[in-house]
Structure formats: structure tokens, C-alpha cells
A and B are shown apart, each in its own frame.
Chain A
Amino acid sequence: GQQVMQIPQYQHVQEGEDFTTYCNSSTTLSNIQWYKQRPGGHPVFLIQLVKSGEVKKQKRLTFQFGEAKKNSSLHITATQTTDVGTYFCAGNYGGSQGNLIFGKGTKLSVKP
């Protein structure tokens, strides 16, 4: 079935270092969303990417959607302790509007 692979599973960084998480799908996505889940919390929507090659920025966060719409990345510049949490990508394949396929997430820890 359709699957969204996300790597790495864990990332430990020193505060101030950069962080990147990658998502990959074997088939073309209609769009992709990114969520952040703090420890003990629930997923919080960050952004949606729709267009091939799209790049969006939110302060220190940069989101990219690949040209083939099969991969995506989230890059955080100069991490802060407030960035701690698990980052999920979630892909939609254009079928059921409700069926977002989530990756397993990348758990980010930041050492002050």
C-alpha cells in the first residue's frame, strides 16, 4: 500500500545546530503536510505543500516539496530548545480527501 518513509527516526543536536528531516514516497503525492508533536501533546499543523518544487519558509523553518512530488524535507536553522518534539510529514495521494498517510516521524532533541 501507499507509504511515506521518514528519516532519520531520531536526531540529537546541540542548540544552534541545524536539523533536517526527510520524507519519501514511492508514488506521486497530491500534496504533503507537516506537523509537530511536542512530548505528551498532539500533532499541530505547520504547513501544506502542493506544487512541484515548492519552497516555503516560516522563520527558521524551510519546507521543500520535490520536483517529482515524491519527496519533501523540513530544515530548521539554528535549533532552539523550543524546537524539541517529533516532526511528522503526512502525504495525500489524491484519493480519499481524508486519508492522510503519516510518516513515523523524526524525534528531535536539542541539548542546551
Chain B
Amino acid sequence: GAGVSQSPRYKVAKRGQDVALRCDPISGHVSLFWYQQALGQGPEFLTYFQNEAQLDKSGLPSDRFFAERPEGSVSTLKIQRTQQEDSAVYLCASSLFPDRAWGYTFGSGTRLTVV
């Protein structure tokens, strides 16, 4: 695709509900990243994939967060038993090569509100 596509754009979840956020990276991009951005803050790293391999998940805040990229393209970030502190914008980014000289291309994000 022309850009990184994320869905849904907005998600309201009741506390305790499970959610799944989808990311469609730019076709052929090897690297895929998930970031969490709270209001008025910079993006915070969650996890990184190179093709289907999850190379770094050190930023996932708890074991309620799980990400996968089974075929090396589309990725899903799943949050189980959502809490109010999970409310944020979840950004997905992709990059052509692991070398970040190209920078990351971010999607428009999914704004998650937990009520």
C-alpha cells in the first residue's frame, strides 16, 4: 500500500475487555514497530519485528500486551483485560530495512479509550 494503515482508527473498550489493533505496513517493509503515545507525550516503544520474528518486546508494559506478525506483513497488537491506563494512541511504523537511515513511516494510529 501507499502508507501504513491502522485499524480501527478509534476504539472504545470497557474496562476488562480484550482488544485487537491491526497494522498493515508498507508492502515489502521488513521492519515493523509498535509505539504507545499518551496525550502530550512522545511515542514510547513497545515492540519490534523483523519479518515475522519479534526481536524486541522489552517495551510491552505487562503480560496483558501481546503482538504478532505471523506472515511477516500484517501485525496485530492485542491487549487483554484492558485497564484505564491503557488509554492512548497506538502507533504502528514500518521501515524498509533494519537500518533506520530511511526513518520510520508511521500510520495514523488507533486511539484507544478504556471506560
Q: B45's contact among A31, A48, A99, A104, by CB below 8 Å, is which?
A: A99
By a CB distance below 8 angstroms, the chain B residues around A101 are: 45
Binds B, one of A38-46, A58-66, A74-82: A38-46
Count of residues in A whose CB is under 8 Å from the partner chain: 26
By a CB distance below 8 angstroms, the chain A residues around B55 are: 96-98
- 27 CB contacts below 8 A, A to B, read A6-B42, A35-B103, A42-B106, A43-B43, A45-B103, A48-B103, A88-B42, A88-B43, A90-B43, A92-B100, A96-B55, A96-B56, A96-B58, A97-B48, A97-B55, A97-B100, A98-B47, A98-B48, A98-B49, A98-B56, A99-B48, A99-B59, A100-B104, A102-B35, A102-B44, A104-B41, A104-B42
Question: A-side interface residues toward B, CB under 8 Å?
Answer: 6, 31, 33, 35, 41-48, 50, 88, 90, 92, 96-105
